[in-house]
Amino acid sequence: MRRLTGRILNIHPSLLPLFPGLHTHQRAIDAGMRVSGCTVHYVTAGMDEGPVIAQSVVPILPDDTEDSLAARVLTVEHRTYPLALKLVAEGKVHMRTDGTVERAGFFGDPSATLVSA
């Protein structure tokens, strides 16, 4: 795994570091969260622990079920993953040897997570 670190991307259906692993939507609802979303991150040895490339946010509605929230998150996953792939392919984002993410050409805090609504 070590030789592939920083070369594989994963999309996860929560706003990491919240709710890694399985059943993310139900866990977010049960925790009383008001928003959820998805995270694209570099894969590292730890499950869902890699540096974040991009995140997108959706509201959690009062009548949401696990399935309705999952459907809403899936919609933003389909926009967020291609965006993250494009940033990596264009060299605008890469994982440093220290395990952090560097973003070239962004204004403000270069270590801030990219959020797309």
pLDDT one-digit tens code per residue, 29-38: 999 999 999 9
pLDDT one-digit tens code per residue, 26-72: 999 999 999 999 999 999 989 999 999 999 999 999 999 999 999 99
25 is catalytic: no
The average confidence (pLDDT) of the chain is 89
Active-site residue (options: 12, 25, 41, 94): 12
Q: How many CA atoms lie within 13 A of 14 on its CB side?
A: 19
Domains in the chain, ordered, with CATH?
2-116 (3.40.50.170)
The DSSP code sequence of 5-17 is: TTS-EEEESS-TT
Q: Is 5 exposed, middle or buried (0-12, 13-18, 19+ CB in 10 A)?
A: middle
Q: What pTM was estimated for this model as a whole? A: 0.86
